[in-house]
Structure 1
Amino acid sequence: MNHPKDETYTQAHTDFSQDLSYGDYLMLDQVLSAQRTLTPAHDEMLFIVIHQVQELWMKLIVHELSSAMGLLKQGIVDPALKMLTRVCRAQEQMAASWEVLKTMTPSDYLQFRASFGRASGFQSHQYRLIEFLFGNKQPFMMRPHQHRPEHHRLLEQALQAPSLYDISLHLVAARGLEIPQAVLQRDFSQPYQPHERVRAAWLEVYRHPEQHWDLYYLAEKLVDVEDNFRRWRFNHLTTVERIIGHKQGTGGTAGVPYLKRALDIVLFPELWQVRTDL
C-alpha cells in the first residue's frame, strides 16, 4: 500500500555536503566527546554532565551579566533588565540541575570520587567570576587560579572593577538621589559594606515607584538575581549533604560547613533592609 507523501518534512533540506549542519554549527562532536570518565562507575557520567551543563549556563550568565552591566554604566536600563531576566532564568536551570544529581546515592559517588583527586567546583573560575561581578569580592579566592594566567587575569580585572551593585548605585546617584562619595569611590576590590544613606535612597525609590520606575524595576530585578543565587547555593548545600554528609570537600574546604557559611552572604543588603522600613 502506497502512502501519500507528507510534505511537512519531505521538503526538508537533507544534503549537507556543502552546507553547515546543526551538529557542525553547535560543534557537537567536540561537545559530546568532552565527557571522559576515569572509572567504570555508572554514575560518573551523570556527575560530569551535570557539572559541564552548569558551566555552560555560567558562561551564558557571564555573557548576559557583563552586557547588562555595560548598558547600566551608560544609563540604559530597559535592555539591561531583559538581560538580567535571562540571567534569572539561567540561574533557575542551574538550581534545578541539582535535582538530577540527587539521584546519585552516597555509595554511587564513592565508586569514583577518589579518581579526580583534589578537583572541586570550588575551583570553577566562571563561578568565581560571577561572584565577583555580583560583588562578593574575596581576593583569597583567586589563589586556585594562579596556574591559569588567563583565568587569573580575568578574575583580577573583575576584582578591581565596580560590581553590578556598584554600577546600579552610580545610576541611582546619576538620577539625583543621594549616594555618598565614599560609596561611589570606594575600593571595589573589597566586599561592599551597607550604608544608611544608600538605604535611604532605595527607600525613596520604593516609596515613590511612579517617579523612579526604572530604578524600582532594576531594584526588584537585583533582588530576583540574589534570590535565585541563594536558591542555587541552598540546593547545592542540600545535594552535597545528601551525598557526602559532613566529609571534607575534595578541594580541601570544610564541605557542608563551608557551604552553610556561604548562605549568610548578602550581595545587595539595602534592597533587603528597605522592606522592613516600608
Structure 2
Amino acid sequence: MKFLRFGPLGQEKPGCVDAEGRIRDLSAHISDLTPETLTKSTLAALSALDTAKLPVVDPDVRLGACVGGVRNFYAVGLNYARHAKETGNPNPSEPVLFSKSTSCISGPNDPIILPKGSEKTDWEVELGVVIGSECQYVPEQDALEMVAGYCLINDVSERSYQIERGGQWIKGKSAPNFGPIGPWLVTRDEIRDPQDLRLTLSVNGVVRQDSSTDDMIFTVAKIISYMSNFMRLMPGDVIATGTPEGVGLGLDPPQFLKLGDVVDLSISGLGTQRQTVVSQPA
C-alpha cells in the first residue's frame, strides 16, 4: 500500500493512494503516520480498508513528508561503487554512517532553500528506508522484516559545509528543507527487491543521475543489520541509503544548484519529487 501525508505544513493528515491513483483521507482511522502508528498491526489494519469508501482528496493538495514526528534521520555515505569512484574514494570496508537533523525534513515538492552563503549545494537521489519494528543485533537475513516501508529521499548537501568546514558531515546535510521525503511510504510487501530499483535525478531537465540500487556496496539488509549492532533502531526511524554517481560534486567541472533550478527525481515504485531552488527567507 502507498501511504502519504497531505495538507499545510504542520497540519498534515494521513492518507493513502487508491488503485486509480487518487488520494484518500485516512484521518477517520488514524491520527497520523508517526513512529507510534507505524506498527505491523496498524499498517495491516489500514491496508485491509476498502479505500473506495474513504473520502477523496484534492489532487493538487500539498504533500508533506510521508512520515511525521521522525526522531532519527540516519544516512549512509559512499554506498554506491560508481559514486565512490567519481569522488575519488575507495569503497568503504564498512558502512559510513552519519545523521541529518530532523529539522531538515520537508515535503517531496517543497522548495530547496539555499542556506545563507551557500555556494556548493548539491543533489543526491536516495532510497529511503523507514523502520517499523524496534530492533537491535538483528541478523542480516532477518533485517528486511524490520522495515515498515520504502520512500524516495533527496539528501540535499552543502558540500563546503560538509567537507571544508571541519567536523561531521551533519553540518552540510541539515539546513531547512535539505531532507525532502516522499511522496509515499510504500509498504515492504510492494517492493519485491530493494536491490533492483532504478533511481533518476535531473536538474532543469538534464539527467544527472540514472542508476540502480544494485550498485550499492552494502545492501539495505546489511545496512540495517550493521546499524543495529551500534544502536537500537526504532519505529519511524528513517535511513537514507546512499546516492549513485552523478552528483554535482563529481562533475568536471563541479556544478551546484543555483536560484531557480528545478530538480526532478524518482525511484521505480516509489513516486517522484520536484523541487525548485529558492533563497533563504529574509
TM-score bracket, normalised by the shorter chain, equals under 0.3
TM-score calculated relative to the size of structure 2:
0.25
**Structure 1 or 2: more strand by fraction:** 2
Calculate the TM-score normalised by the size of structure 1: 0.25
Q: Which has the larger radius of gyration?
A: 1
Greater share of helix residues, 1 or 2? 1
